[in-house]
Structures are given as C-alpha cells and as structure tokens.
Amino acid sequence: MREPLWVYVWWLVVNEVMCYLELDFLCSAVKIRERRYFFMWLTTGGILTAAAVRYQLSGMFIFMILLFIVFARVFLKIHWKDMTAPVAVLFTAYTIVEGESAVLLSLISTNLKLDYYGTIVQILASALSALIFFLILQLIRRRYSAAWNRLVSPYLYILLLPCICFILIVRCSLRLDSSAFEKYLASFGIEMSFAVLFCMFLSASIFFLILEIFCKMIALTEKEKEAALLSEQMAVQKNYIEEARKRNDRYASFLHDIDNHLLILSGLLKEERFKEAEAYAENLHTDKESLDIFVSTGNAVLDILLKEKLGYAEQCGIETACSVQIPEDFCVDDMDLCVIFSNIMDNAVCACRKSGKTGQTLNIWTKIRTRFLLIEGENTVDSPPDGEIKEGTGLGNIRNTAEKYQGLVETELENGIFRISVLLCLDQKAARE
C-alpha cells in the first residue's frame, strides 16, 4: 500500500534532524563553531533521503559515512586524525539506535495487528529513535568530548576498532542495508527478537565501556605529559634559583663594599684624577645595572625571581608594578612560589610581547585574608577571536601547584586585560610537607 505524502515528508524531516545532530556533534567534538555550511549539509542529506525513499535505494549507510567525512574535510577543514574518534563514535551510536529500533518495530508490527495505526507506530518509533540518538550524543559530548581535543597517540585509536566491528556485525546480521531487511526481521520469533534486543543492549554497554577506557587512556597520557613537563620545569627553576642566589650574593657584596667604593671615588676626585674617577664611576654603574629594581617580598628566593622577571619585562618596554608580600609565618615552599610567580610573569611577558603594541602593562600583587594568600596578576593582551582563554602548560602548572594547598585558580579576559587569581589555603598540613 502506498504511503500518504505526509509520511514521506515526516521521514525527510527525521533524517534532516539526524543529519543536523551528526554534524553538530562533530563540530562540538573538534571545537568548531562554524555554522554556515550546515545548510549545505542538510540540503545534501535531504536530497539523498528523498532519492532513497523515491527509488527505494538500499546500502546508503557506507556512502553517507564517506560523504560525511569528505564534507568535514573539504568544507570544515577538519584534519583526518581529529575526526577519527568522533566519527567512529557517532556512527556506532547511530547503528546501535537504528538496529534496536528496527528490531523493536518489527517485533511490534509482526505480533500485533496494527492496521491503520501501523503508520502512527512507525512515526512514533522514528521520533523516539531520534530522541534517543540525541540523548546519547549529549551524554557522550558532556562526558567524553573534552578528551578528543588533546594530542592522542595513534596507538590509542586501536581501542576504537571494536566500534567498526560493532557497525559491521549489527548491520550485516540484521541486514539493515538490504532492501529485504523488513521481511528478514519479520521472520524472527518473539524469543529470537528479545535475544537480539538483549545482544544490542549488551553491545551498547560494551561500546560505552570502550569509550570510557579510550578517554581514560587519553587522560592518563595527558597527565603523564603534564607531570613530565612539570618535573622538567621544576628542574629548570631549581637551577635558576641556584644561579639567582649567586647573583644575590654579588648584590650583598656590592652593598657591603659601597662605602669603600665611595671613599676611593672621593679620593680620586680630591687628587683631581678625573679620568680615573670617571672610569671608576662607570665601572660602578655597570656593576649596578642589574640591581636597579628593588623588590622586598619577605622571601629571599622570590625577591630574586621577581627582580629578574620584572627587569626583563621592563627591558621589553612593558610598564610594571609589583606589590607582593609573603609573611614569614606562611609556610609555602620556595619551589611552589617560584612555579606560580614565574609562570604568571612568563605568560604575561609573552602575551605583551606578542601584542607588539605600545603601552603594555604588567601588574602583580598579593593580599592576605586570615590564613589565605591571594596572588593576583593582570596584563594587557590581544583578545583572541573566539574570546576564549586557551590553557597551556604554564597555567596547568599553576593549577597543579595550587591544588597542593587546597587552592583555586580563576582567569578572566575582559577589554584586552587578562587577569589571574590564585588562592592558596595555608592552614593545610599537606602544604607544609
């Protein structure tokens, strides 16, 4: 019996919704906000759906996958390796939903006399399938998509091979791409249909388990890289502190001998040995050039660090301001302080230098709130096009260090000013260990 026109329109609408969900999921997974090509994809999907319905075409699934991949690569400029995991997950979920819907609908239509209501049941089943597909994609997007934006070893993609196996097994065993799949499913008995539904449910559970393992492996790999980078940075900071201590000794030596230098210079002037006095004064000025910035935070190591960082910033033409105080009774490890302050300063200087504009500023200060130490910094920066702050290794190291003191890190970008706030809780015994 020929279906009425509105039924075909409904199938077209449902398939358009599915096409939209597929492309929206991929764009969300790879962090692309481009929407101008959505209409093109929906139009293409609508034409193919209308052709498949009109001419009873079968086996369109593989063709749609290939077309989807080519479309994402050509128009959205998504790299192959970036779309591998999302596409595998996307069409595995689609196949599982389609398979369960087909078996369930066949079970109902075969064992119940629906007559005219059969069309209504099909429409409701297709709407339910679209809703379940949407909910599954939302769950995957919220729980797992963050892991796909990280650099992944090619070997981890081996974990996605079962997704391909699921697609092949489900589609071949249920003959979903065959024009006679309805008759084939109708030949199943009640027990066989329930057994297939159970197997589909089991496959879905295994699919989510594999997805969980895949994302956990990515997260562990990322943490290992961050730990290695942090360890390397700590080693560099340790060497830097050692060198800084030596420079501080020279500073102390200079201050200790300044009276003798002035006596010598006064004697040369009294004896009218002006050229020698001028040369001596120039040598003193040269020795003092690296000591022009005065920083007194209450922590000797941090004094050296900030003096060097602020001096470098001013050499780069950046206007600086520093108001940092670390009370003596605050038990913060010197290395932890160096990690926090050095990363704040390095990121700020790097952002100011990248800008290339005049009038760049860098301010850093601290506030004491009972047993809390608040470290704040702000600097001028060129606002990114998307308005989002991309967290790098430096900011990640600050977060890791703050966690040792049960602390928090907040960042804000507004009107070309980047602000960072680091709150350290100094009552924790773990902070002193």
pLDDT for residue 423: 92
DSSP state of 58: -
Q: Which amino acid is at 282?
A: E
Distance CA 135, CA 148 (A): 19
Q: What is the pLDDT of residue 36?
A: 83
DSSP category for residue 188: S
Q: In what order do the strands lie in the sheet with 408-414?
A: 319-323, 361-369, 372-380, 417-425, 408-414
**Residues near 95 by Cβ (< 8 Å), separated by ≥ 6?**
61, 166, 167, 170, 171, 176
- The closest of 430, 230, 222 to 335, measured between CA atoms, is 230
Residue type, 167: I
**pLDDT at residue 429, as a whole number:** 41
Structure tokens at 122: 């099909």
Are 402 and 408 a contacting pair, CB within 8 Å? yes
d(CA 341, CA 377): 9
Whether residue 14 contacts residue 126, with contact meaning beta carbons closer than 8 Å, is answered with: yes
Q: What pLDDT, on the 0 to 100 scale, is given for residue 86?
A: 85
- For residues 211 and 209, give the distance between their C-alpha atoms in angstroms, rounded to a whole number: 5
Residue 146 has a pLDDT of 64
Contacts of 393 (CB under 8 A, 6+ apart): 226, 229, 233
Q: What is the pLDDT of residue 117?
A: 73
What does the pLDDT read at residue 362? Answer: 92
Q: Report phi then psi at 356, rounded to 5.
A: 75, 0
C-alpha to C-alpha distances, 187 to 72, 102, 167, 168, 181, nearest whole angstrom:
39, 13, 22, 21, 10
DSSP 209-239: HHHHHHHHHHHHHHHHHHHHHHHHHHHHHHH
CA dihedral for 87, 91, 94, 100, sign (positive or negative) = negative
* Residues 38/23, Cβ–Cβ less than 8 Å: yes
> What are the per-10-residue average pLDDT scores of the chain (433 residues)?
72 90 88 83 89 78 90 88 84 90 84 72 88 91 70 59 82 83 82 87 87 79 72 66 65 72 79 80 67 74 83 82 85 85 88 80 88 90 68 79 87 88 70 42
| DSSP assignment of 281-298 | HHHHHHHHGGG-S----S
β partners of residue 418: 379, 413
Domains and CATH numbers, the chain: 5-226 (no CATH), 293-433 (3.30.565.10)
0.85 surpassed by pTM: no
CB-based contacts of 145, cutoff 8 Å, min separation 6? 28, 29, 86
Both tokens assigned to 17: 């919704």
Burial (CB count <10 Å: 0-12, 13-18, 19+), residue 432: exposed
Residue 292 phi/psi, 5-degree rounding, is: -70, -35
**Amino acid 428: pLDDT:** 43
User: Residues 368, 327: contact at Cβ < 8 Å?
Assistant: yes
